[in-house]
C-alpha cells in the first residue's frame, strides 16, 4: 500500500506535526509560562486542516475570501504561532501592506509572552498577522465564529454574481471543554444551528482534562447529542493522531450543506510527554526540561535541540498551502475584476473601514418639542436614516426590537435567516452574550454591526464589549431603557451601575444623548469610529427636544461635553451637569434659577471619553476651575462624578437600586425633580458665594 512517496509524505507530515509540538514546548519552557499540552495534542489537527483544507494563501493573509481559522482555545496560542511560522505567512502592516517580514519568525517564537512581541500569551487581533480574533476568555472565539460565518453568508449574497463567488469562505474553530461549558458558546451554537450555517465547522478537542482534574468532576454531558439538539451535523474522530480520519471528517463538513458541523476529536493533552500527558499538569505550565527531553525522545526528536525546525519541515507546509491555494486566489482576483464598479467600490470601503459618500446627508433634524420623544425613538430614526445609506450596517436585538426601536424598517432591509442571508435585521433571540460576540465576529469580516438590548442587560454582554475594545472594533452597542425611567419593571430592570461599568472600560465610547438631536449626533459619532466600540445609551421615556435656536447646537456632542445654556452676563455661579434624560431637567432648573436671580450654566456631558480627549483650554471653557459650585444630575450611580463635581459639588444620583413604580413616583422619590435641583444649586451658589 505504502509507496516510498507516500511514506515520505507521511514522514514529512509527521515531521511538521512534531515541529509544532516541540516549538510549543520549547517556547513555553523559555517563557517559563504558558500552555504546552493542547498544542501537543492538537498539532495533527491544526496541521491537517492547514495543509490539506484551509483556504489560506500564506502570501495573501488578507485575502477577503480566505477561510477563517479561530483558535477559541486561545491559551494554546503556540499552536497558532507555530502554524503561522511553518506556513510562512507574511506580515501585513497596519496600513495593509506587506512589511517584508514573516508574520511569526522563529525569533518571534523565542520571544513568546515577552513585552511587545508578536507572540503574546493569548492570540491578539491586530498584533499578529493571521490572528483572526482575540481569544482567551473561553467561549468568545466560538461565538465570534458564528458572526464570521453569518458575515460570510451575507457577503456572498451581496457580492456573488452569476455563479462567481467572491465570498464563500468557511470558518473553522478549534475549541475545548471550556468552550463547551461556557454559556456564550451554547447561545452561539443554538443560533448557528437555527441559521443552518453550513460554512461553520467547530473542532472540539475532547481531551477530558480540565484544570481541577478530569472533566468528570464537572462535565459529563453528551456533547454530540446536545449539538444534534441544536440542529448541528456531528462527527466523531476517536484519535487526534488519526490524520486520515480528521481529513474525512473535514471533507464531510465541506459536503454538508444545511447545518453547521461539530467534529468531536478525542485527544490526549500533552501527547508524548510520558509523565504529564493526560493530566492537568500538562495544561497550564511548562513541562520542565526533563519531561521535554522525554517527550522529544518519544517523538524521535533530537533531545537537546531547542526551537528546531528541521530542513524537511521548513517550507513543507508553506509549499502545500501555496500550491493548493494559488489557483483559487488567482481565480478570485479574476472574479473581483469582473465586479461592477459600484460593488467594487463598496467592497473597498468596507475593507478600509470607510463610509459611503454622502452617508451623513440624511441626518434627521428634530424640531423643538416640549413633550419630546424618547431617545430610543429618535435613535431608531437616526439608525434607520443612516442605515439606508450604509448597506453594510447590519444588526439587531436580543428579542427586544419593538422596545429598543432598532428595527430597520426601510424597503429591502429584511430579516436575516437561513433562507434570506441578505437580510439586515438580525434576530439574536434572548442571547445577549452571544449577540455581543457575534457582532464582534461580523465586524472582523468587514461589516458594521450593531446590537441592541436594555442597558441593564449590558451585564450579560460585558465580556464581548471588553473584547471589542481590546480588538479596536467599531461595533455599536445600543442600550435602551437606561435608568429608573424603566418604571414598573423594578430594580432588576433598572440600570444603576451600568454607565460606570461602561465608562470604566478602556477604549469604549459611552454616549448618553440628552435629546433627539443629541441622539442623532451620537449615532453619527459612533458610525465615524474606526477603531473603538461605542455604547449608545437611550431612554425608554420621552424627553423634551431642546429648542436649539435658544440653546447651543447638539453638534457639541462631538466634543463629549458642551455648554447648552449659559449665564447671560459673565461667569456662572453654578454649573449644572447632566446626561441623557437629565439634561432637560437641568435646563428646566436653569430657567427656574434664572428667574430666581441665580446665574447658572448647563453642561450636557453625553460622552466623558470624548470630553477627556479635548484640549485643556476647551475643558476649562466648559468647566472652569474657578466655578466650584456644581451639581451633577444623572439617574445612575455616583461613581466617577467626583471628577467633575470636585469634592465640594453636589450630586443628584442613585445611591441604591431602584423600585417598581410608575416613573413619576420614582423620579420624585429619588430627587430627580426641578425643585430638588434648584434647591441644591441654590445651596451650592450660596456656599461658594461665601467662600
Rounded CA-CA distance 145/226 in Å is 19
Q: Which is nearer to a second copy, 193 or 580 (CB)?
A: 193
Per DSSP bridges, beta strands 562-565 and 600-604 are: antiparallel
Grid cell at residue 685: 451658589
Strands 90-92 and 98-102: antiparallel
Do the beta carbons of residue 563 and residue 527 sit within 8 Å?
Answer: no
Distance (Å, whole) CA 511 – CA 388: 22
The count of other CB atoms within 10 Å of the CB of residue 33 is: 13
d(CA 60, CA 266) in angstroms, rounded, equals: 33
SS3 174: strand
Sequence length of the chain is 691
Active-site position among 132, 291, 432, 588: 432
**Burial letters for 624-663: b for 16+ Cβ neighbours within 10 Å, e otherwise?**
eeebbbbbbbbbbbbeebeebbeeebbbbbbeeebeeeeb
19 and 248 Cβ atoms separated by less than 8 Å: no
Using CA atoms in the order 582, 586, 588, 593, what is the torsion angle rounded to 10 degrees? 160
Whole-number minimum distance, CB 29 to a second copy, in Å? 13
Closest CA to 88 of 71, 105, 76, 72: 105
CA distances (Å), origin 666, targets 241, 488, 498, 654, 670: 64, 9, 19, 11, 6
Distance CA 356, CA 215 (A): 51
Q: Tell the residue number behind the cell numbers 527531553, with chain if given.
A: 293
Pairing of strands 200-206, 209-210: unpaired
Of 57, 63, 23, nearest to 40 (Cα)?
Answer: 23
- Rounded distance between C-alpha atoms, residue 102 and residue 24, angstroms: 18
Residue labelled with grid coordinates 454616549: 511
- At 310 the three-state DSSP class reads coil
The backbone torsions φ and ψ at residue 337, rounded to the nearest 5 degrees and listed phi first, read -60, -30
Q: What is the dihedral of CA 182, 267, 203, 125, to 10 degrees?
A: 70
Cell 460554512 -> residue: 199
Cα separations in angstroms, 554 against 91, 125, 273, 521, 616: 43, 35, 65, 7, 21
Residue 510 belongs to what H/E stretch?
strand 509-511
Question: Would residue 367 show up in a list of annotated catalytic residues for this protein?
Answer: no
CB atoms within 10 A of CB 680: 23
Q: How far apart are CA 522 and CA 479, in angstroms?
A: 12
Known binding residues for Mg(2+): 177, 207, 209
* Residues that are catalytic: 432
Amino acid at each position: 500500500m505504502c509507496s516510498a512517496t507516500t511514506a515520505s509524505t507521511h514522514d514529512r507530515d509527521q515531521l511538521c506535526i512534531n515541529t509544532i509540538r516541540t516549538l510549543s514546548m520549547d517556547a513555553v519552557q523559555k517563557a517559563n509560562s504558558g500552555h504546552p499540552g493542547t498544542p501537543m495534542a492538537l498539532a495533527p489537527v491544526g496541521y491537517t486542516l492547514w495543509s490539506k483544507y484551509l483556504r489560506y494563501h500564506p502570501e495573501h493573509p488578507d485575502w477577503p475570501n480566505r477561510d477563517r481559522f479561530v483558535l477559541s482555545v486561545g491559551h494554546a496560542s503556540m499552536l497558532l504561532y507555530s502554524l503561522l511560522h511553518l506556513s510562512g505567512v507574511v506580515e501585513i502592516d497596519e496600513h495593509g501592506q506587506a512589511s517584508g517580514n514573516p508574520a511569526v519568525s522563529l525569533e518571534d517564537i523565542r520571544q513568546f509572552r515577552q513585552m511587545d512581541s508578536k507572540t503574546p500569551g493569548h492570540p491578539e487581533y491586530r498584533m499578529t498577522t493571521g490572528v483572526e480574533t482575540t481569544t482567551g476568555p473561553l467561549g468568545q472565539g466560538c461565538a465570534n465564529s458564528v458572526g464570521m460565518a453569518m458575515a460570510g453568508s451575507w457577503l456572498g449574497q451581496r457580492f456573488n454574481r452569476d455563479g462567481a463567488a467572491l465570498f464563500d469562505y468557511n470558518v473553522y474553530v478549534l475549541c475545548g471543554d471550556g468552550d463547551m461549558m461556557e454559556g456564550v458558546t451554547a447561545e452561539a451554537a443554538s443560533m448557528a444551528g437555527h441559521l443552518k450555517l453550513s460554512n461553520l465547522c467547530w473542532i472540539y478537542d475532547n481531551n477530558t482534562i480540565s484544570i481541577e482534574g478530569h472533566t468528570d468532576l464537572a462535565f459529563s454531558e453528551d456533547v454530540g447529542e446536545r449539538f444534534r439538539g441544536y440542529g448541528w451535523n456531528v462527527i466523531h474522530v476517536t484519535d487526534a493522531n488519526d490524520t486520515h480520519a480528521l481529513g474525512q471528517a473535514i471533507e464531510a463538513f465541506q459536503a454538508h450543506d444545511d447545518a453547521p458541523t461539530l467534529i468531536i476529536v478525542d485527544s490526549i493533552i500533552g501527547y508524548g510527554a510520558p509523565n504529564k500527558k493526560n493530566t492537568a499538569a500538562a495544561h497550564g505550565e511548562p513541562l520542565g526540561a526533563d519531561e521535554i527531553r522525554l517527550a522529544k525522545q518519544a517523538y524521535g526528536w533530537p533531545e537537546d535541540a531547542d526551537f528546531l525546525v528541521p530542513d524537511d519541515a521548513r517550507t513543507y507546509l508553506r509549499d502545500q498551502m501555496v500550491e493548493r491555494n494559488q489557483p483559487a486566489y488567482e481565480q478570485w482576483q479574476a472574479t473581483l475584476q469582473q465586479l461592477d464598479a459600484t460593488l467594487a467600490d463598496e467592497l473597498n470601503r468596507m475593507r478600509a473601514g470607510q463610509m459611503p459618500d454622502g452617508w451623513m446627508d440624511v441626518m434627521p433634524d428634530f424640531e423643538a418639542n416640549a413633550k419630546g420623544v424618547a431617545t430610543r425613538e429618535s435613535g431608531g430614526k437616526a439608525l434607520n436614516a443612516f442605515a439606508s445609506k450604509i448597506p453594510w450596517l447590519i444588526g439587531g436585538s436580543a428579542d427586544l426590537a419593538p422596545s429598543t426601536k432598532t428595527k430597520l424598517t426601510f424597503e429591502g432591509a429584511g430579516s436575516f435567516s437561513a433562507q434570506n442571508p441578505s437580510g439586515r435585521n438580525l434576530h439574536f433571540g434572548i442571547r445577549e452574550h452571544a449577540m455581543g460576540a457575534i457582532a464582534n465576529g461580523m465586524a472582523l469580516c468587514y461589516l458594521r454591526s450593531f446590537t441592541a438590548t436594555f442597558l441593564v442587560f449590558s451585564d450579560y454582554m460585558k465580556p464581548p464589549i471588553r473584547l471589542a475594545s481590546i480588538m479596536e472594533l467599531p461595533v455599536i452597542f445600543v442600550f435602551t431603557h437606561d435608568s429608573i425611567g424603566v418604571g414598573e419593571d423594578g430594580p432588576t430592570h433598572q440600570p444603576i451601575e451600568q454607565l460606570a461599568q461602561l465608562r470604566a472600560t478602556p477604549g469604549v465610547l459611552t454616549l448618553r444623548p440628552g435629546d433627539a438631536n443629541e441622539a442623532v449626533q451620537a449615532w453619527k459619532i459612533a458610525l465615524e469610529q474606526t477603531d473603538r466600540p461605542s455604547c449608545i445609551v437611550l431612554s425608554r421615556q420621552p424627553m423634551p427636544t431642546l429648542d436649539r435656536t435658544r440653546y447651543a447646537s447638539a453638534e457639541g456632542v462631538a466634543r463629549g461635553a458642551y455648554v447648552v445654556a449659559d449665564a447671560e452676563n459673565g461667569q456662572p455661579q453654578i454649573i449644572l451637569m447632566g446626561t441623557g434624560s437629565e439634561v432637560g431637567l437641568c435646563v428646566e432648573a436653569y430657567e427656574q434659577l434664572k428667574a430666581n436671580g441665580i446665574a447658572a450654566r448647563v453642561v450636557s456631558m453625553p460622552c466623558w471619553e470624548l470630553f477627556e480627549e479635548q484640549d485643556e483650554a476647551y475643558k476649562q471653557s466648559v468647566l472652569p476651575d474657578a466655578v466650584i459650585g456644581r451639581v451633577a444630575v444623572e439617574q445612575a450611580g455616583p461613581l466617577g462624578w467626583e471628577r467633575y463635581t470636585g469634592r465640594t459639588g453636589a450630586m443628584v444620583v442613585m445611591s441604591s437600586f431602584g423600585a417598581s413604580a410608575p416613573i413619576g413616583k420614582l423620579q420624585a422619590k429619588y430627587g430627580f425633580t426641578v425643585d430638588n435641583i434648584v434647591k441644591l444649586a441654590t445651596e451650592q451658589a450660596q456656599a461658594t458665594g461665601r467662600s
